[in-house]
Amino acid sequence: GENVEQHPSTLSVQEGDSAVIKCTYSDSASNYFPWYKQELGKGPQLIIDIRSNVGEKKDQRIAVTLNKTAKHFSLHITETQPEDSAVYFCAASSPSTDSWGKLQFGAGTQVVVTP
């Protein structure tokens, strides 16, 4: 099955700097890669996703890049703000016959933005 590795596990950045989180996946058939943000006391919420026919996607200060050859994808947050402090999860979905849209999640990255 799919295996997703996420690095780093913790990331401290100064407000205004950029943050980058990287994930690798094992199943070359995976074709959907979402990123979730989990704030304290809440469930994860989708912030951006990318499909395998696209190399990069941006939404204001966040962007995701996908390298299918290397089987890795990254989340980029620019001009970080204190409200970006949260746990971020990457995930991958493989369209195998028994997956039914299941997601395999990475272990998560705790991002702390210091003023």
* Buried b / exposed e along 14-45 (16+ C-beta atoms within 10 A): eeeeebbbbbbbebeebbebbbbbeeeeeebe
Residue 33 DSSP SS3: strand
53 near another protein (CB under 8 A): no
Which residue, 42 or 115, is less far from another protein as judged by CB? 42
Which residue, 76 or 105, is less far from another protein as judged by CB? 105
CB 41 within 8 A of CB 87: no
Which residue, 17 or 58, is less far from another protein as judged by CB? 58
Binding region for another protein (CB under 8 A): 6, 9, 31-32, 34, 36, 41-46, 49, 51, 89, 93, 95, 98-103, 105-108
